[in-house]
Amino acid sequence: MNMIVLMTAAGAPLAMLGLSTPVARERNCIFMIHPQITSSVFESKEGKIVFPDRPTEYPCRYAKTKSGADIAFTNQNGWRFEVRIGRGDEGSWKASLVDEAVAGRAFSPFGDRK
């Protein structure tokens, strides 16, 4: 799995999460703006959390599970991201910081290609 599309809880395109290869427990990942993002989504709470400043590469944990894959990392503003993709290439994401949290849908358009 090398790319995951993140959407808001309402299903609006938000970002693409690119993951480095080869597959290893510790990989690098980076958010890219989804080509169909709207200005209102970019300016939303989710947009400001996913794109806080400039594109930054994050070390992320990648773990294959019985039900798919889990990816986790912390961005430069301290938000902890957790992405879970199931065997059907669909899943969810959430970001949390102290008592705040946002969440949405996620999917891997190219499946689990390692």
Percent share of the chain, pLDDT over 70: 92
Answer whether residue 113 shows pLDDT above 70.
no
Q: Cα-flanking dihedrals φ and ψ of residue 49, to 5°?
A: -75, -45
Topology of domain 3-107 in CATH is Lipocalin (2.40.128)
What is the token pair recorded at 39? 């200005």
Domain ranges of the chain: 3-107
Rounded CA-CA distance 44/12 in Å is 11
User: Which stretches within 16-69 are classed as H helix?
Assistant: 39-42, 45-50
Residue pLDDT, tens place only, 83-95? 999 888 999 999 9
Answer whether residue 114 shows pLDDT above 50.
no
Give residue 2's pLDDT.
83
Q: Cα-flanking dihedrals φ and ψ of residue 47, to 5°?
A: -60, -40
Rounded CA-CA distance 37/41 in Å is 6
Rounded CA-CA distance 77/37 in Å is 22
111 pLDDT tier (thresholds 50, 70, 90):
low
